[in-house]
Amino acid sequence: MIRNPIDVSTRVSPNLSALIENRLNMVEPDEYVTLALVRDYLTDMLSAAFTETEHIHHFDINDSLLDELDALIEEFGETALANDFVQNSASEPMTRVIEAVINSRDQDNPPTLETIREAIAMGLPARLVGDGVLDEDEDDALLEEIEALIDRHGDDALAEEFLRYE
């Protein structure tokens, strides 16, 4: 299996990334999970046998995830390794939010993902747009992204671990 030479995880929505990560967590460490296997997993979840309770318990499963996954398969192939598509770092706009929170706090108390969520809820993105740190369209998805990071890593995970350095 050939690994992708570019960071393709930046092209995956937080929900699809979380779904892929969940599928990866179901296999042995030496097993390879491809996009085709993730597609089978997702179509099984979308099947009529999948109960409403399970929908609520897992992810916001819908056909748009399948469309997104199909587009990835079309571009990268069915045999592309699924772990390449899991987001393990914040987006560039989220990185700027995390850096703003880090720079505004004392070093002895590093911010957690929950701290970042609170800062977003209190209007930090709007201030950063006003300061020119974020573009107006970059603040729209920040709450969804931080929620996805918290769902996967917990609210007490250190925010600095998700900084994207490019």
Domain boundary among 85, 100, 133: 85
Residue 96 and residue 40 in one domain: no
Domain extent for 97: 92-162
Residue 71 and residue 27 in one domain: yes
37 falls within a domain? yes
2 falls within a domain? no
Write the pLDDT tens digit of every residue in 68-102: 999 999 999 999 999 888 877 788 899 999 999 99
| Confidence category of residue 57, pLDDT binned at 50, 70, 90 | very low
20 falls within a domain? yes
Residue 60 and residue 118 in one domain: no
Residue 70 and residue 111 in one domain: no
- Checking if the pLDDT of 51 tops 90, the result is no
The region, left, alpha or beta by phi > 0 then psi within -120 to 50, assigned to residue 132 is left
pLDDT for position 106:
72
- How many Cβ atoms sit within 10 Å of the Cβ of residue 18? 21
Closest CA to 39 of 54, 57, 52, 20: 20
Residue 30 and residue 53 in one domain: yes
Question: How many independent structural domains does the chain possess?
Answer: 2
Domain boundary among 58, 85, 112: 85
Residue 70 and residue 39 in one domain: yes
Residue 70 and residue 100 in one domain: no
49 falls within a domain? yes
| Mean pLDDT across 103-126 | 91
